[in-house]
Chains A and B, each alone.
Chain A
């Protein structure tokens, strides 16, 4: 086991330069350290000007997404020991505009997420007096996997379609739409169908499958999208039927 490992970190200071550059930092190697620990060491001891996002450091908040050796990862869940002997290349998440160093702007994703109405939509709200919504474990199981999404946007960094066509609504937004569509309490499936049937909705997806590979919470957005495509086609056919047959 070596004593140190080199991190090659992308730096971008908009007030000084017009393009990102790489700067090498030598950090101590500890076998239980994640890339995030190394970045915090750099910020504490080597270069306080390094900017990056992080929060929970345990893989549930989705803040610390970055490209590690060219692949989108949560840096709190990516261990230095797996990348020996190094150097380890750390860059900001792909396909998002870089604000500074390793910080990207994800407002595009936030906008798209709002468009799919990621909440339980009811035609009529159940008044409190009528009690809770009851849900069996089977009903929960239908959408549970998609509810695990932590909005880390690693799937967007992995999706080449999003890279080539930034107007694509993206894997996480569609997976979250499915999470609510399949929730027995929700009545908003038709609202979401309209938005996702547009040109930049689910049909932009060509089932590359990289989003599912990159997802740290095993949400399987690619599966969600293909299932939604089937539902979309079924809906389209049903619309062709005369009213009486529906």
Chain B
């Protein structure tokens, strides 16, 4: 812990003031709030992962089990939850791709690849993989 220096003249040592950090610190500015929302998207990602696992389990148990699973997903509450989770996961992906160039500094032929190129490459890969998956699943 950071604390006052070990001054031997502590009788005259000034009384330092430490402003307490409020538990609502993340509401003080929109950037802080956006950060906390970004971190909370992990809950939405976990929700989708759990849903996927349950779907695979239902698939493994046979067609009636899978049909029951799909029927449960049709519940309006679950539809709303899924839509909300989808919005959060979109936010998660967009913030992730935009931040990726900060973590990966690529140098080609001695010059730094610009941030927009790295983020752009991530988005392009996203579109390509989504298109490939859509073609495979919907044809």
Count of inter-chain pairs, beta carbons less than 8 A = 77
Instruction: Tally chain B residues at the interface, Cβ within 8 Å.
Output: 26
**A20 CB contact (under 8 Å) in B2, B17, B103, B104:** B17
Q: Is A54 an interface residue (CB 8 A)?
A: no
Q: Which of A20, A97, A167, A212 has the most CB of B within 10 A?
A: A97
A58 interface contact, C-beta 8 A: no
Chief secondary structure at chain B's binding surface: loop
Question: Would A230 and B103 count as touching, CB distance under 8 A?
Answer: yes
A66 vs B87: C-alpha distance when bound (angstroms): 38
202-246 of chain A: CB within 8 A of chain B: 206-210, 212-213, 220, 222-223, 226-227, 229-230
Instruction: Tell me if A86 is interfacial: C-beta within 8 Å of chain B.
Output: no
Looking across the interface, which residue of chain B has its beta carbon closest to that of A137? B110
Residues of chain A at interface, number, CB under 8 A: 38
| A223 CB contact (under 8 Å) in B25, B26, B31, B102 | B102
From A94, A138, A206, A229, contact of B103 by CB (8 A): A229
Provide the A49-93 mask, 1 if CB < 8 A to any CB of B, else 0: 000000000000000000000100000000000000000000000
- Write the residues of chain B forming the contact surface with A, with a CB cutoff of 8 angstroms: 1-2, 4-5, 14-19, 21, 25-26, 28-29, 31-32, 35, 39, 99, 102-105, 110, 112
9 contacts between A and B (CB under 8 A): A18-B17, A97-B17, A108-B2, A160-B26, A163-B25, A206-B39, A226-B99, A226-B102, A227-B102
